[in-house]
Amino acid sequence: MRVITCKNYEEMSKTAARLVAGQVSLKPNCVLGLATGSTPEGMYVELARMYQNGELDFSNVSTFNLDEYCPIDKENDQSYYYFMNKHLYSKVNLKPENLHIPNGSAKDIETECANYDKMIDSAGGIDLQILGIGSNGHIAFNEPEDELTAGTHRVELTEDTIKANSRFFASESDVPRHALTSGMATIMKSKKIILMISGKNKSEPLKKLLTGKITTSCPATMLNMHADVIVLADEDAMNG
Ligand code: GLP
């Protein structure tokens, strides 16, 4: 695991965008694994700027997002589909047929999850996965548990996560109690991973990650078993 300390959020965002741009230049038809949340927003701004300046072409890129609330309609302004459309899809030349997010309103959840993993495999696997982290150490929506799940699956959100994510909703009771999430194996099969960590409230899970110990009570620590992870942490997270 390579850890890069960035001065602040802006530097972390620009560094992440440069790494994504490097991946796209190297392999124009690459498969990107994308994340939502406040952490990657600045990276998306930078990627959109690079595209608008003619520095990046997404026309052959495919994307798979990590997770989606369940149940939720994609038109709902709190859905992760809505987030991605606002921050990336509407700003760059990704082809609609190449964008993937688990369908949070699917009738048959099991089939939806199984098909999602199959689609990633058929696309050749994820070349570069972007991750954020929850303050309880979750990645995607793989919450701290005695057992973690390998493939894409439906999960019950923890109180911590509901509370943390309620800032985007009118009230805490509006936060969906479930989500569809990539599993730990779905994430670990990615060829490269960039984990973005920003802010004092993320210093605890970052500390746990850096001990090199692996525990399901902090799912991000599993990344210690992956051969190609870059952690981009800002000074607030590092020193917090
Ligand atoms: C959410 C998402 C994660 C994200 C995390 C942190 O619940 N499911 O993919 O990394 O929480 O979000 P934020 O970047 O807003 O702190």
pLDDT tens-digit series, residues 133-168: 999 999 999 999 999 999 999 999 999 999 999 999
The C-alpha atoms of residue 2 and residue 192 are separated, in whole angstroms, by 12
CA dist 140 to 47, 104, 173, 210, Å?
21, 14, 21, 19
Instruction: Name the residue with the closest Cα to ligand 1, atom 11.
Output: 134
Q: Is the CB of 132 under 6 A from ligand 1?
A: yes
Q: Is the CB of 38 under 6 A from ligand 1?
A: yes
Among all residues, which ones are annotated catalytic? 67, 136, 138, 143
Strands 128-131 and 192-197: parallel
Name the residue at shortest CA distance from atom 1 of ligand 1. Answer: 37
Ordered mean pLDDT values, 10 residues apiece, the chain (240 residues): 98 98 98 98 98 98 98 95 98 98 97 98 98 97 97 96 93 95 98 98 98 97 98 96
Per-residue pLDDT tens for 51-73?
A: 999 999 999 999 999 999 999 99
Does the beta carbon of 134 sit less than 6 angstroms from any atom of ligand 1?
A: yes
Q: Give the number of the atom of ligand 1 that is nearest the alpha carbon of residue 157.
A: 7
